[in-house]
């Protein structure tokens, strides 16, 4: 029935500020910005995944339930990426740790809207 996931959407009442953070801090590749009264935001490509950060009339302030979902970004070295992001004052909830069930490492952090993100990869 389902063939693939088309996109990951993150809504914000200050989508420009949030999208700028994803571009400046995480170095994501911005591919478009749309300014339409009913569809406003910034699109990024992360590998083969489309990430949309947009304005939503029902979203106000920071995420009040950040543990509901998590986005994992694949990196070569979790430790190296962790150090690079710490130097940019990214707030981490968990420093690099080994997955309990397979041979990968994780580190968990938040974006400015309090959404939880992870990096996953080699040590």
Answer yes or no: do 40 and 73 share one domain. no
- How many domains does the chain contain in total? 2
Q: Residue 91: CA atoms inside 13 Å, Cβ hemisphere, count?
A: 8
pLDDT per residue, tens digit, the chain (123 aa), is: 999 999 999 999 999 999 999 999 999 999 999 998 888 999 999 999 999 999 998 999 999 998 899 999 999 999 999 999 999 999 999 999 999 999 999 999 999 999 999 999 999
Answer yes or no: do 66 and 123 share one domain. yes
Identify the domain containing residue 74 by its residue range: 62-123
Which two three-digit tokens encode residue 98?
A: 């080994």
Q: Facing residues of 116 across strands?
A: 70, 110
Answer yes or no: do 53 and 2 share one domain. yes
Answer yes or no: do 52 and 73 share one domain. no
Contact in structure between 105 and 98 (CB atoms under 8 Å) = yes
Indicate which CATH number applies to the domain containing 68: 3.10.180.10
Answer yes or no: do 51 and 66 share one domain. no
Residue identified by tokens 């170095």 is 27
Answer yes or no: do 49 and 72 share one domain. no
The whole model's pTM is what? 0.92
């Amino acid at each position: 029935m389902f063939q693939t996931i088309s996109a990951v959407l993150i809504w914000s009442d200050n989508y420009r500020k949030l999208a700028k953070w994803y571009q400046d801090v995480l170095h994501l590749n911005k591919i478009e910005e749309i300014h339409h009264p009913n569809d406003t935001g910034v699109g990024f490509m992360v590998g083969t995944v489309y990430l949309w950060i947009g304005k939503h009339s029902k979203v106000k302030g920071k995420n009040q339930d950040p543990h509901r979902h998590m986005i994992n970004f694949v990196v070569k070295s979790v430790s190296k990426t962790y150090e690079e992001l710490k130097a940019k004052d990214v707030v981490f909830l968990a420093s690099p740790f080994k997955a309990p069930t397979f041979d990968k490492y994780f580190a968990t952090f938040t974006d400015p809207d309090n959404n939880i993100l992870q990096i996953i990869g080699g040590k």
